Amino acid sequence: MKKSLIIGSNKGIGLEICRQLSAKGHHLLATCRKRSVELEQIENITIYDSVDVTHGDSLVNLASLIGNQTLDWLVVVAGIYKTVTINPPLDRNAMIKQFEVNALGPLQAVIELLPCLKPEGAKIGLLTSRMGSIADNTSGGNYGYRMSKVALNMAGKSLAHNLLSKKIALVLLHPGWVRTEMTKGNGNISAAESAKGLIERMEELTLEKSGSFFHQNGEELPW
Q: Residue numbers of the site for ligand NAP (CB under 6 A)?
A: 8, 10-14, 33-34, 52-54, 77-80, 101, 127, 129, 174-175, 177-178, 180-183, 187
C-alpha 184/C-alpha 63 separation (Å) is 33
* Helices (H), ranges, 31-142: 37-40, 56-66, 92-98, 105-113
Q: How far is the CB of 156 from ligand NAP (least distance, A)?
A: 12
- To ligand NAP, the closest distance from the beta carbon of 12 in angstroms equals 2
CB of 165 to ligand NAP, least distance (A): 28
C-beta separation of 109 from 59 below 8 A: yes
Residue placing its CB nearer to ligand NAP in the complex, 99 or 118? 99
Q: Which residues contact 85 (CB under 8 A, 6 or more apart)?
A: 141, 143
State how far Cα 17 lies from the chain centre.
11
Q: Which is nearer to ligand NAP, 70 or 183 (CB)?
A: 183
Q: Least CB distance from residue 181 to ligand NAP, whole Å?
A: 4
* 32 versus 117: smaller Cβ distance to ligand NAP: 32
CA distance linking residue 44 with residue 49, whole number of Å: 16
